[in-house]
Amino acid sequence: MTVPGSPNPASTGIRTLAGARLPPRVRNILESLLRAASDEFERRLGDMLVEFEQQLFRLADHARNPAVEAGYMHTLRTMRLNRADLIPRFMLGVEAGLASLDRSPVPNAESAATKPAIAPDSTSLKLVDDTEMDVELILRDVAQRSAARASLPLHLLGQRFGVLGAMPAFDAERLPLGPWSLCTILQDASSVLQLPPDAQQLLLRTFERRVMADYGQIAELFNAELSASGVLPALTYVPLRLRATALPSDDQASAKPRARRRNAAAAGAQTAGGRARPHTAWLGLDAAEDSVDRGGSFAGLQELLAGRRTTRAAAATQRSRAAPDASAAAAELATALAQVRPALGLAGGDGQTIDGIKRAVSQRLREERGPDAELTKADSDTFDLLGMLYERVEREVRIDTLAAGLLKRLQLPVLHAALDDHEFFTRSQHPARQLLNTVAESGARWLDDNDIDPALLQPIQRAVDHVVKHAHEDPGAFEASNRMLQQELELLARRSDMAERRHVEAARGKEKLEIAKRLAAETITGMIGQRKPHKFVRALIEQAWADALTLTLLRHGDDSDEWRQMLETTRRIVTACCDQGAVPDPELATQVEAALSRVGYHGDEAAAISRRLASLREDDDGASRTELAAALKTRTRLGERAGAQDKQKLAPRTPEEQAQYERVSELPFGTWIEFVSNQQGDVVRKRLSWYSKVTGHALFVNLRGQRVGEQSLDSLARMLARGQARVVTIERARLVDRAWQATLGTLRGLARRGGAARTEQARA
């Protein structure tokens, strides 16, 4: 595969899959893998370059030494000129690594991208520059940390590459798509940016944050691609994790019938390659790693819940009931849930709650077994904990959205999941919590009406329908629904990312235009100097000719021959218009007319302006000059919108507004900001996708990657100072996980107050 705009592999001696001596099936598999890698790396490397450019801006802005500032700005300009070549060269290196599976000799001088390792050879030590050694150390550290975070997917990937290459399994250092290989490829590809050593080290650190920090996810993607292509599709490895605590004795018997359901759900997770991670890029949140909640074990949760009950007055009058037969409790509960399910309705009524389901189930048990029948303590606690969680979640969801109804429909399936597996409360990536999170976040209160995407709601609704229909009989229903849902959300996330990138590129184009306009204006001002041309002639130079200079900068840059020719033409114009006794220059008039025609001036208009700028004075009357001045005044300048209003002079910023301005000028791209949308205090969340310190403009997008606003950093700072906007500093946890942590906080507070009350009673 040849990347457009990249060097010709045949002329550089770089391996390609087309030229590799590989079996046809292996070549097809590697080409498919290369396409998947290209999609993943192009997106991540694009984000890396954006952040790297922003860091160079910040370093230049904070530099105290003018020479240091000039150095950073020079690096930034060089990087901008060559940045388009980095990603194609990187992908050529990736392709060369994949093509090296043929084990044939390398023709000519092969790219160093195919070198398997970064570690230096201790037998060939030599004196090197300190900066070169620093780069090598950074590369090795990045590769080692990435490999440590992704040891399991790397192991599986090495096995699959061993099958493709008909050789023993690859270790991480020799793996073509391993962290060592990718770091070396970046080092080789970044040479095109012509970075000084300190900037090169900064780029490598940015590469680690933007690309290699999620290498485990990338390796899982490669494993999934190879598995789908038939390369060891059943290969899995899930280490055995022993429970640290046993179940309470009164629940051991009732837990046995549920063990089979938990094992089936775990098997479903293994079949999915261990990918139980929900996709949340469409919400602007990174998917958290699977972890155990701070709530601890289920037994610990029961103790907290007991503390809550002691604070309630109703607990003092609660009837004492005989403990049910634990061996029959699970079966009876399942039967009771099945019996009340039709009465509650699959869709769930508006008044249906977890507490309501608990009362209906308890009533059914008493009808079946007598007035003393009751839920086991563990099952009763599960109902109570889930009820508290649901109450918290529903506070964060708008009642007028489809998500509110879907949450009601999920109550019974989620209840089944929590009763069967208490890890629902202690494991953040439990399949039921994943789906609950996705549904809840699709109707969060901070969503704007325009953010609710039918293309997003449809797959969510299908997933809920599948769970509602099958969860009571299939323990893997949540896992299967999540797997289908994440595939569709991944596609939507890619579309959102592409839409956002288009808006960012358009905004960057506006920034480049503004930089070019400023440089053109500075060039004209510097050449005129202390001269005093006629006011009308000066207007022609600073408007019409400035547009021609701006267009040349945009097309060719400030180090091109075309720009140098325009500078010479500008000097001749200034001399012709400002110096006494200047000789009219017909050749200059021809050059000016040609340049003006390129920026949209028509024949007669361009000819009239060029004659005046070349000092070809004619005996035209004042009326023609007035007409030309009027036409110039009404003409839309290069890069401006027709009918655009002049900028109003703003009042100086207050100290608070200045502090907020300095704060927003340092915010990373992708920061979420909440804007107050009405007098009731409702907020809409927008993502600060990009901003420019040159123009002071900021671009905002919504969850779908669509542009929802563009305003100045100054106005944003003033809104923050007035409380009309605020920077979102939420933790990385998702909505349901945050609601669960809030629930735990409530339980702990009640437990502390209950303990204090018991202490006071004991003292009395």
Confidence of residue 576 (pLDDT cuts 50, 70, 90): confident
Strands 707-712 and 671-676: unpaired
pLDDT, tens digit (0-9, with 9 covering 90-100), for 4-40: 444 555 444 577 888 888 888 999 999 999 999 998 9
pLDDT, tens digit (0-9, with 9 covering 90-100), for 126-172: 444 445 556 777 888 889 888 888 888 898 999 999 889 888 889 88
pLDDT at residue 705, rounded to an integer: 81
d(CA 10, CA 99): 14
User: Which residue type does 379 have?
Assistant: D
Cβ neighbours for 159, distance < 8 A, ≥ 6 positions apart: 169, 232, 235
pLDDT at residue 135, rounded to an integer: 78
Bigger pLDDT: 738 or 271?
738
Q: For the chain, give me the number of helices (H) and strands (E)?
A: 29, 5
Bigger pLDDT: 748 or 51?
51
d(CA 456, CA 702): 14
Query: How far is C-alpha 407 from the geometric centre of its chain's CA atoms?
Result: 26
pLDDT, tens digit (0-9, with 9 covering 90-100), for 692-737: 888 888 999 887 788 888 889 999 999 999 999 988 875 455 788 8
Taking Cα atoms as reference points, which of 62, 755, 739, 16 lies closest to residue 388?
A: 739
Average pLDDT over the chain reads 77
Whose tokens are 């006071």? That residue is 760
Cβ neighbours for 756, distance < 8 A, ≥ 6 positions apart: none
Report whether pLDDT(479) > 80: yes
Q: Are 97 and 185 in contact (CB under 8 A)?
A: yes
Element housing 711 (H / E): strand 707-712
CB atoms closer than 10 angstroms to residue 474: 17
d(CA 8, CA 14): 9
Element housing 526 (H / E): helix 477-528
CB atoms closer than 10 angstroms to residue 561: 8
User: Which residue type does 425 have?
Assistant: F
The number of residues in the chain equals 764
Taking Cα atoms as reference points, which of 382, 458, 466 lies closest to residue 420?
A: 382
Taking Cα atoms as reference points, which of 615, 608, 609, 617 lies closest to residue 543?
A: 609
CB atoms closer than 10 angstroms to residue 293: 18
Domains and CATH numbers, the chain: 9-228 (no CATH), 297-308+333-475 (no CATH), 531-634 (no CATH), 655-736 (2.30.30.140)
d(CA 133, CA 135): 5
The Cβ-side half-sphere exposure at 99, using a 13 Å CA radius, reads 26
d(CA 695, CA 518): 10
Cα torsion 217, 219, 220, 225: sign: positive
Cβ neighbours for 422, distance < 8 A, ≥ 6 positions apart: 298, 378, 382
Q: Are 593 and 562 in contact (CB under 8 A)?
A: no
Cβ neighbours for 650, distance < 8 A, ≥ 6 positions apart: 714
CB atoms closer than 10 angstroms to residue 693: 15
pLDDT, tens digit (0-9, with 9 covering 90-100), for 84-135: 999 999 999 999 999 988 664 444 333 333 344 344 443 444 444 445 556 7
Q: Are 203 and 135 in contact (CB under 8 A)?
A: no
Cβ neighbours for 445, distance < 8 A, ≥ 6 positions apart: 396, 397, 398, 682, 683
Angle, in degrees to the nearest 10, between helices 86-99 and 179-189: 140
d(CA 592, CA 597): 9
pLDDT at residue 259, rounded to an integer: 45
**Average pLDDT for 535-542:** 85
Bigger pLDDT: 512 or 244?
512
pLDDT at residue 733, rounded to an integer: 57
pLDDT at residue 2, rounded to an integer: 42
pLDDT at residue 603, rounded to an integer: 79
pLDDT, tens digit (0-9, with 9 covering 90-100), for 325-376: 544 566 777 777 777 776 665 444 444 788 888 888 888 888 888 888 888 8
Taking Cα atoms as reference points, which of 276, 362, 263 lies closest to residue 321?
A: 362
Q: What is the percent of the chain where pLDDT is above 70?
A: 75
Where are the alpha helices (H) located in 190-271, listed in sequence order?
Answer: 197-210, 215-228, 252-271
Confidence of residue 655 (pLDDT cuts 50, 70, 90): very high
Q: Are 669 and 54 in contact (CB under 8 A)?
A: yes
Report whether pLDDT(455) > 80: no
535 by Cβ neighbours in 10 Å (0-12 / 13-18 / 19+) ranks as: exposed
